[in-house]
């Protein structure tokens, strides 16, 4: 009998193998240059209109789409089209071209073409002004009777201050005021006139007079053709010249002696600036850095000296000192502020430095705060002894979802956890990292987050520090298996929807075993596993034991036992595959008879039936008339012995069905002897019957089994298979 049971177990395994498969947000747009340009008649041209996009903190935003529209036009087009994209500095531009030269008379001497540049939240308007042909001067239609008058005068003041007397500029064409023309100041040194002044500088204060969002130092003429420019003094003390430039749109000439292509008129005067008194010194950057003994600080120390008026002051002396003495060396101990008012020095810690080092910058001439102090922390040199995984290993996430926990490693030294150690992270497989490097905190730990990619598979993330590394093994699961009610079949003869309490069922669906090649089987002792190959099955919320999970030749399947206390009728069956899940509504019957099959050559199958000598019935070993045979089935309904889910009968006892069992051959009933639950195989019935003497012979005698549940008169039948009879 033991040999017979081993043969049965092998048969069931063979039968079950037979299968019928986290950015910047654009917030503002401003005009940089190009607004208020003036083009001459007969050949005038416009330079690009340039805008900049920034976020709410004023930081340039790259890759932003800026929409352009012509709101008033003389027939031209935008060379860059209706949309452009900002560069790494948040800048983008467009050029108006192809417009027609306009003819005009008295009262209509200019054309004001207008354009908008927009992002989602804001827009700015550019004005490009054309002077028309002079119809009153037929001898020279292209004459340019444009008049620019200004209260230009010699300017003087202190660096970093604002002039008390504004400059008034009026632009007119043949006596008619011209609005929306830019006015700006250009400074140059007569001794070197081909480059902008590196000494005294003067610009118009504020922004354009009739429009917010203009960042270039220009003023625009108003409806009366007049603009008011309040001079602002910067740069260094000295004597230079400046002139008033109109119609350049804020574009600063590279060579002050060569005016931009747009119409420009200048009135020249002198500019004399004297040094402003130093007011205070303040820190700009570099404070609270750390480094090992003997190392350079990562960044220089930067300070700024401002005037008493609050403007940056150039030419001020700043002295640098270290405390305690000898704890560090400085690149510069005496510095002079640049035109931006700033000075800097680099710091190298001494090899014996420890604790806290202070560097002080002193401005002897400042009348207010005359010194600032930078604090440097000396980090002791430690030797890394290893890297260990703290948490986050062996996680699973569905495609395109974040893994639930960050990956955390700890860097250790012989003295304990190591702070401020850089850790690099690399990934292999379908996933992305939140960062490729992180620095350990005071607890010696560093972490990154991981997001699953679009395809299932294995992921390896490697953390490396000081030559040591650790690897995390993660799994990307499908969003869930693709199941419907039709995915569930009887595990013996694969009838769709043929499930009942305690019976064996099989699911055929893609996504059941995405990372598996071959078969994973629950092996005795102790019953079947409730989680196998990362899969779980819940019938009406109750976990079902799983016999095997398989992925062979692209066909994915899972066989499980329906819980013995599952309710009848339509119930939800939920299948979890890793982190993915799917649910189908499936009908549970009182009985679901199914006959286990054996595979034959040529892809055919037949019922798994044993002869009295313990050999399998086969075409070469057919059943004989009058023999008592044993067939193997599932789903015969409840037994007269209470058998729990995932359990076998009590050893030495027998468990028989409470339903009526009918065995059929060749379309007729045959003598039924007994049916008992297998003592070795969960959910399998051994059905004993006799081949009648009148049974037909042949290799394909039809064979089936039916069940009439207690209290019912309607039989429930298995699928029809065959056995050979001699």
Name residue 328's beta-bridge partners.
349
Contact predicate 688/612, CB 8 Å: no
Task: Summarize the confidence of residues 56-80 as an average pLDDT.
Answer: 92
In CATH terms, the fold of domain 384-469 is: Immunoglobulin-like (2.60.40)
Instruction: Please provide the CATH number assigned to the domain covering 594-725.
Output: 2.60.40
Q: What is the pLDDT of residue 15?
A: 41
**For residue 506, how many other CB atoms are within 10 A of its CB?**
23
Q: Give CATH 2.60.40.10 domain extents, the chain.
A: 24-150+163-268, 278-378, 384-469
- What value does the mean pLDDT of the chain take? 88
User: Is the model's pLDDT at 313 over the cut of 70?
Assistant: yes
| pLDDT digit string, tens, across residues 586-626 | 999 999 999 999 998 888 899 999 999 999 999 999 999 99
Q: Token pair for residue 229?
A: 């420019």
Q: Token pair for residue 689?
A: 């019957």
DSSP string, 80-112: TTTEEE--TTSEEEE-EE-PPPPEE-TT--EEE
| pLDDT digit string, tens, across residues 340-395 | 899 999 999 999 999 999 999 999 999 888 999 999 999 887 688 999 999 999 99
Instruction: Please provide the CATH number assigned to the domain covering 24-150+163-268.
Output: 2.60.40.10
Q: What is the pLDDT of residue 550?
A: 96
Helices (H), strands (E): how many in the chain?
1, 66
Task: Summarize the confidence of residues 307-332 as an average pLDDT.
Answer: 92
**For residue 329, how many other CB atoms are within 10 A of its CB?**
13
Q: Is the CA virtual torsion 712, 714, 720, 722 positive or negative?
A: positive
Domain formed by 485-588, architecture: Sandwich (2.60)
DSSP string, 585-626: EEEE-S---EE-EEE-GGG-EEE-EE-TTSPBPBTTB-B-TT
User: Is the model's pLDDT at 263 over the cut of 60?
Assistant: no
| pLDDT digit string, tens, across residues 638-666 | 999 999 999 999 999 999 999 999 999 99
User: Is the model's pLDDT at 225 over the cut of 80?
Assistant: yes
How far, in whole angstroms, is CA 140 from its chain's centroid?
Answer: 64
User: Is the model's pLDDT at 506 over the cut of 60?
Assistant: yes
| pLDDT digit string, tens, across residues 445-463 | 999 999 999 998 899 999 9
Residue 448 exposed, middle or buried by CB count within 10 Å (0-12, 13-18, 19+)? buried
| pLDDT digit string, tens, across residues 12-53 | 434 443 444 346 899 999 999 999 988 876 656 889 999 999
Instruction: Please provide the CATH number assigned to the domain covering 278-378.
Output: 2.60.40.10
Confidence class for position 58, pLDDT limits 50, 70, 90? confident
Confidence class for position 444, pLDDT limits 50, 70, 90? very high
């Amino acid at each position: 009998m033991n040999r017979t049971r081993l043969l049965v177990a092998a048969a069931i395994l063979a039968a079950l193998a037979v299968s019928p498969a986290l950015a910047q947000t654009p917030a503002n747009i401003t005009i940089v240059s190009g607004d208020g340009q003036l083009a001459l008649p007969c050949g005038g041209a416009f330079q690009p209109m340039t805008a900049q996009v920034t976020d709410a903190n004023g930081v340039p935003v790259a890759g932003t789409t800026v929409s352009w529209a012509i709101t008033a036009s003389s027939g031209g087009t935008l060379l860059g089209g209706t949309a452009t994209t900002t560069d790494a500095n948040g800048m983008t531009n467009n050029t108006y071209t192809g417009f027609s030269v306009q003819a005009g008379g008295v009262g209509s001497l200019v054309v004001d073409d207008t354009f908008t540049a927009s992002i989602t939240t804001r827009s700015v308007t550019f004005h490009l002004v054309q002077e028309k042909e002079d119809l009153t001067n037929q001898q020279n239609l292209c004459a340019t009777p444009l008049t620019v008058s200004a209260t230009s005068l010699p300017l003087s003041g202190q660096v970093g201050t604002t002039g008390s007397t504004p400059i008034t500029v009026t632009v007119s064409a043949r006596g008619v005021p011209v609005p929306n023309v830019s006015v700006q100041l250009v400074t140059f040194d007569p001794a070197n006139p081909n480059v902008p002044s590196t000494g005294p500088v003067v610009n118009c204060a504020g922004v354009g007079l009739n429009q917010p969002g203009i960042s270039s130092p220009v003023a625009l003429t108003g409806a009366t053709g007049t603009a008011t420019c309040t001079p602002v003094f910067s740069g260094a003390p000295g004597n230079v010249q400046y002139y008033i430039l109109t119609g350049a749109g804020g574009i600063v000439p590279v060579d002050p002696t060569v005016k931009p292509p747009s119409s420009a008129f200048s009135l020249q005067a002198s500019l004399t600036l004297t040094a402003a008194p130093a007011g205070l010194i303040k820190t700009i950057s570099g404070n609270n850095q750390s480094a090992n003994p003997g190392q350079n600080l990562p960044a220089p120390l930067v300070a700024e000296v401002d005037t008493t008026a609050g403007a940056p002051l150039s030419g001020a002396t700043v002295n640098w000192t270290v405390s305690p003495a000898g704890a560090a060396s400085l690149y510069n101990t005496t510095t002079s502020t640049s035109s931006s008012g700033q000075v800097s020095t680099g710091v190298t810690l001494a090899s014996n430095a420890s604790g806290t080092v202070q560097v002080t910058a002193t401005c002897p001439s400042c009348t207010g705060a005359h010194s600032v102090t930078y604090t440097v922390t000396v980090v002791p040199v430690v030797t890394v002894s290893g890297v260990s995984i703290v948490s986050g290993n062996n996680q699973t996430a569905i495609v395109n979802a974040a893994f639930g926990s960050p990956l955390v490693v700890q860097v250790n030294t012989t003295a304990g956890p190591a702070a401020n150690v850089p850790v690099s992270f690399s990934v292999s497989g379908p996933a992305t990292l939140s960062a490729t490097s992180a620095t350990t905190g005071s607890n010696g730990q560093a972490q990154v987050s991981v997001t699953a990619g679009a395809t299932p598979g294995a992921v390896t993330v490697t953390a490396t520090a000081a030559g040591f590394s650790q690897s995390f093994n993660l799994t990307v699961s499908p969003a869930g298996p693709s199941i419907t009610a039709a995915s569930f079949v009887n595990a013996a003869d694969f009838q769709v929807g043929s499930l009942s309490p305690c019976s064996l069922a099989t699911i055929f669906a893609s996504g059941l075993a995405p990372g598996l090649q071959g078969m994973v089987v629950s092996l005795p002792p102790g019953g079947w596993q409730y989680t196998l190959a990362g899969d779980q099955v819940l019938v009406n919320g109750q976990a079902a034991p799983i016999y095997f999970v398989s992925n062979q030749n692209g066909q994915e399947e899972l066989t499980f036992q329906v819980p013995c206390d599952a309710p009848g009728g339509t119930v939800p069956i939920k299948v979890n595959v890793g982190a993915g899940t799917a649910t189908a509504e499936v009908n549970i019957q009182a009985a679901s008879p199914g006959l286990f099959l054996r595979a034959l050559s040529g892809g055919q199958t037949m019922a798994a039936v044993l002869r009295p000598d313990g050999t399998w019935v086969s075409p070469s070993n057919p059943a004989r008339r009058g023999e008592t045979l044993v067939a193997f089935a599932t789903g015969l309904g409840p037994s007269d012995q209470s058998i729990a889910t995932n359990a076998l009968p009590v050893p030495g006892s027998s468990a028989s069905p409470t339903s009526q069992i009918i065995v059929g051959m060749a379309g007729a009933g045959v003598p039924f002897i007994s049916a008992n639950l297998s003592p070795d195989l969960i959910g399998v019935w051994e059905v004993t019957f006799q081949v009648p003497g009148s049974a037909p012979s042949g290799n394909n005698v039809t064979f089936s089994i039916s069940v009439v549940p207690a209290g019912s008169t309607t039989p429930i039948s298995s699928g029809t298979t065959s056995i050979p009879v001699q």
